[in-house]
Amino acid sequence: MTKSKIYLGDQDTEKENRTHFLLSKDGGFEDDDSMAVNQSWTTAESDDDYKDDCEDDIVCGIGAFRPPWLQRFKTIGWFTGLYGFAGLLTSALNVYVSSQITTLERYFNFSSTVSGFIMSCNDIGYLLTTLFMSYYSRRVHIPRGLGLSTFVFGLSGIICVLAFAISKDEQATSTVLNSHISSGNRSSGFKSFHQLCVNLTSAFNTTTEEKAVSETEGMSTSTKYLALSIIAVGMAVQGIAKSPRHSFLGTFVDDNVPKTQTTKYLGIMGGFGIFGPAIAFVLGGVFSRIYVTLEDPGISVRDPRWFGAWWLGFLVFGGAAIIAAVPIICFPRHLKGRRQLEGVESRKKGLAKNERSSAFLGYEFKGFLKSCGRLMTNPVYTLLVFGISVNLLGIGGYYSFAAKYLESQFTVPVFKANVTLGSLNMLSAALGSVVGGFVVSRLRLSPRMCIKFVLACTVLTSLVLSCSLMLGCDQPYIHTATDELKDEDLSVKECVAGCDCDTQNFFPVCGADNRNYFSPCHAGCTDVLGSNVFINCSCVVGNTARLRTEEMTEKLASDQTATAGLCIPDCDNFYPYLAIMFVHTLIACLTIMPNFVVYVRAVPEKDKPLALGFMAFLATVLGWLPGPIVFGYIVDTCCEIWNGKGACVLYNLSNFRFRFHITLLGLRSVLFVLLIIIFFIVTFSKTFEFQSHNDEEDISGDNKRLALDRESDMSIKLSSLQSHKKKKELEANGN
């Protein structure tokens, strides 16, 4: 009793507050009716239980913490802002791994197919719970469910950090140690680490101590797979945490605002969420400029031995999400609005039924199966969900490896690819989502008009995406010991004749002659300045054809250098490609809210929560889950040079460009065909009808035509009835 009295006071005040919170909105009940409703809610075991339930329904706070000042935040505006921020953090954490794919592949030495599987573990966890979460969304405290999912989301990030904790002592420390060896202590072991030119005798006589230094490079197989397993578990926990978000959020907003305003608030929160991936890529780029051990290894970010601090993002986003979960949990089950009483009463009746019936779970499961059957036999809903899922297969796969594509195709460092991609998505995706929601709400687009809108956007995105096939760079040519330098008297084979060059470990360097070499050894380099500039490279020569002998000697001495990493190509297509993808993403995101309107209004009101969850379930099974795996395999088929059996270190750029984008275009074509079929169904079918799109019965859009037809029929019948009555009266008067 004490806990309830803190906020509700005595019995009279309690009744007054019940009436104020539950019945004052819209003025639907008088006091006598209020008492009757209150009396119908006596199924709770005690008055204390009733008050606790009532507080959970309509009062901000949790447990004994329900101060009056907290109640001012019980509005849809505050919920939109707070959950929008929480959604920003969780969506950032959800895609952060995509910004670190190249770093993770090199750090743990695994292929893009494995990368795709790790990212798909997120969706595997999601599939385990999403359908049941959706079906029971009417029976749980939705804000607390959303807050708990945000907390678990943050916890998954902390789990991924553990993978770095167990592997940091075996990986990357050799880079720091070897790069700080003084020139006086440089030996065959040091030269082997830097892949310098070492004569065969010196290489054969490498001491045991020097071999030990070389062998410390990399991590053991057991540690590698343990770390990957931890990351996979963290991604699966993310999937479980995000399973209630889609259906819970859509149900909560739709039940607490007028139907015509649902897309506006969901669009705003969706805009927050779309900022998340953008921020993830931007901060991913920042963290890529920090060495993985937070030390200074003495090498540049373009150096093939550089590993960015990939784990920092998991720690930052995970910790922030845990903090952001707290205010979400404090929201009540129902906000002020017209459905407040209806939702509370429905829940109470459900609880009473649960207590009375021993077959409740069996009954609910049968209802679940019936709801699934209704959804699967709904042609518009089924075709649209399948089309969206196929499209998401392409989108999920593309953006999983988009940063890798930019790095490989345009030879940009990891940090630049991430920052550029993040900035691009931040503006285009957020703008498209918000504008799409505003257009639907402002113009009050009917579901049929939404289908036309989505169809037009699909055509435009396909045309824009086709332009990307023409925007790429030439394949870099890699000189090795078996090649000959064109237009020169020296051949690589001759200048490295005394070197023992490794032909397996790819360590590209860019010579002063703007040629790419397989490694410093293949360039004939015998020493290194610092850790990034290689000198005395006998194979690196400039244009000396017109120089005198003494001038040639000086020229060779100054030009026989090389730097770690591939040469920057003479290619100007990087920014045009970004412009194309900006327009593509903007148009694609315009369809988010129109699609939502179509598949929600295509199903009965009672099936709406399950429809949202079922859509998310199928989108995951057919789209998000296989997308990274399929595109990871496609990326691997474009590889030209592998680092042993691990990561790819050089791709065929032409194959990468065409296979990457043609796959995406093919999947987009499937969506286009299905949208055409849906359009014909809603236009010519006499059996299909969209649900009410507005709060009033006489609504605009597709049902307005039906309402006018019915009104016309009623007018005709009324006119006929009046004529018949008048005829009877005339006959009676005549008699």
| Residue 313: CATH number of its domain | 1.20.1250.20
Handedness of CA 179, 180, 184, 187 (dihedral sign): negative
Query: Which residue, 57, 73, 89, sits at the end of a domain?
Result: 73
Count of CA atoms in the C-beta half-sphere (13 A) of 100: 31
In tens, the pLDDT along 326-374 reads: 888 888 877 754 444 454 455 545 544 444 444 444 556 677 778 778 8
Burial state string for 25-38 with b = 16 or more CB within 10 A and e = fewer than 16: eeeebeeeebeebb
Helix (H) or strand (E) holding 702: helix 702-734
Choice between 394 and 268, residue whose per-residue pLDDT is larger: 394
- Cα separation values, 329 from 7, 82, 88, 146, 148, Å: 19, 11, 17, 7, 7
Helix (H) or strand (E) holding 588: helix 574-589
* Percent with pLDDT over 70 in the chain: 69
In tens, the pLDDT along 670-684 reads: 999 999 999 888 888
Q: In this structure, is residue 23 part of a structural domain?
A: yes
Position 557 confidence tier, pLDDT thresholds 50, 70, 90: low
Instruction: Tell me what the mean pLDDT of segment 176-199 comes to.
Output: 52
For residues 561 and 317, give the distance between their C-alpha atoms in angstroms, rounded to a whole number. 42
The confidence score (pLDDT) of residue 151 equals 92
| 485 plus 405 within the same structural domain | no
The confidence score (pLDDT) of residue 445 equals 82
| 367 plus 459 within the same structural domain | yes
Handedness of CA 124, 283, 416, 395 (dihedral sign): positive
| 110 plus 15 within the same structural domain | no
Give the distance, in angstroms, between the CA of residue 702 and the centroid of all CA atoms in the same chain: 34
The confidence score (pLDDT) of residue 587 equals 92
Q: In this structure, is residue 62 part of a structural domain?
A: yes
* Percent with pLDDT over 90 in the chain: 14
Amino acid at 609: P
Secondary structure letter of residue 130 according to DSSP: H
Residue 481 has pLDDT above 80, yes or no: no
| 160 plus 183 within the same structural domain | no
Instruction: Tell me what the mean pLDDT of segment 698-727 comes to.
Output: 51
Choice between 251 and 408, residue whose per-residue pLDDT is larger: 408
For residues 432 and 47, give the distance between their C-alpha atoms in angstroms, rounded to a whole number. 50
Question: Residue 68 sits in which domain range?
Answer: 2-73
Q: How many CB atoms sit inside 10 A of residue 70's CB?
A: 16
| 323 plus 292 within the same structural domain | yes
Count of CA atoms in the C-beta half-sphere (13 A) of 572: 0
Closest C-alpha among 109, 196, 174, 186 to residue 502: 196
The confidence score (pLDDT) of residue 2 equals 42
Residue 295 has pLDDT above 50, yes or no: yes
| 360 plus 277 within the same structural domain | yes
Choice between 96 and 728, residue whose per-residue pLDDT is larger: 96
Position 697 confidence tier, pLDDT thresholds 50, 70, 90: very low
Q: 562 forms bridges with which residues in the sheet?
A: 511, 534
Residue 698 has pLDDT above 50, yes or no: no
Residue 209 has pLDDT above 60, yes or no: no
The values of phi and psi at residue 382, to 5°, are -65, -45
Q: In this structure, is residue 687 part of a structural domain?
A: no
Count structural domains, the chain. Answer: 4
Least confident interval from 176-180, 466-470, 625-629, 722-726: 176-180
| 596 plus 639 within the same structural domain | yes
In tens, the pLDDT along 97-137 reads: 888 888 888 888 888 888 888 888 888 888 887 767 766 66
Q: Are 510 and 477 in contact (CB under 8 A)?
A: no
If you compute the radius of gyration of the chain from its CA atoms, what whole number of angstroms results? 33
Q: In this structure, is residue 98 part of a structural domain?
A: yes
Residue 685: is it exposed, middle or buried by C-beta count within 10 angstroms (0-12/13-18/19+)? exposed
| 367 plus 393 within the same structural domain | yes
Q: In this structure, is residue 688 part of a structural domain?
A: no
Residue 226 has pLDDT above 80, yes or no: yes
* Own/partner pairs, 1-6, CB within 8 angstroms, 24+ separation: 1/47, 1/48, 3/48, 3/51, 3/52, 3/63, 3/64, 4/48, 4/51, 4/52, 4/55, 6/64, 6/66
| 372 plus 518 within the same structural domain | no
Choice between 321 and 705, residue whose per-residue pLDDT is larger: 321
Position 456 confidence tier, pLDDT thresholds 50, 70, 90: very high
The confidence score (pLDDT) of residue 3 equals 40
The values of phi and psi at residue 11, to 5°, are -65, -40
Q: In this structure, is residue 51 part of a structural domain?
A: yes
Residue 471 has pLDDT above 50, yes or no: yes
The confidence score (pLDDT) of residue 479 equals 82
Greatest mean pLDDT among 139-148, 478-487, 726-735: 139-148
Give 309's contacts (C-beta < 8 A, 6+ positions apart): 287, 288, 290, 291, 292, 294
In tens, the pLDDT along 589-643 reads: 898 888 888 878 888 877 777 787 778 778 888 888 898 899 999 999 998 888 7
Mean pLDDT of the residues in the chain? 74
Least confident interval from 66-75, 83-92, 186-195: 186-195
| 129 plus 257 within the same structural domain | yes
Greatest mean pLDDT among 368-372, 462-466, 725-729: 462-466
Tokens of 35: 């008492």
| 257 plus 299 within the same structural domain | yes
| 664 plus 719 within the same structural domain | no
Residue 179 has pLDDT above 50, yes or no: no
Residue 297 has pLDDT above 70, yes or no: yes
In tens, the pLDDT along 646-678 reads: 778 889 999 999 999 999 999 999 999 999 999
Transcribe 364-429 into DSSP letters.
HHHHHHHHHHHHHT-HHHHHHHHHHHHHHHHHHHHHHSHHHHHHHHH---HHHHHHHHHHHHHHHH
Tokens of 66: 């329900």
Query: Which residue, 53, 73, 93, sits at the end of a domain?
Result: 73
Please tell me whether residue 533 adopts helix, strand or coil conformation.
Answer: strand
Q: 511 forms bridges with which residues in the sheet?
A: 562
Give residue for tokens 């999983």: 400
Q: Are 275 and 430 in contact (CB under 8 A)?
A: yes
Q: In this structure, is residue 696 part of a structural domain?
A: no
Query: Which residue, 505, 534, 568, sits at the end of a domain?
Result: 568
Choice between 24 and 345, residue whose per-residue pLDDT is larger: 345
Q: In this structure, is residue 691 part of a structural domain?
A: no
Tokens of 300: 């540049």
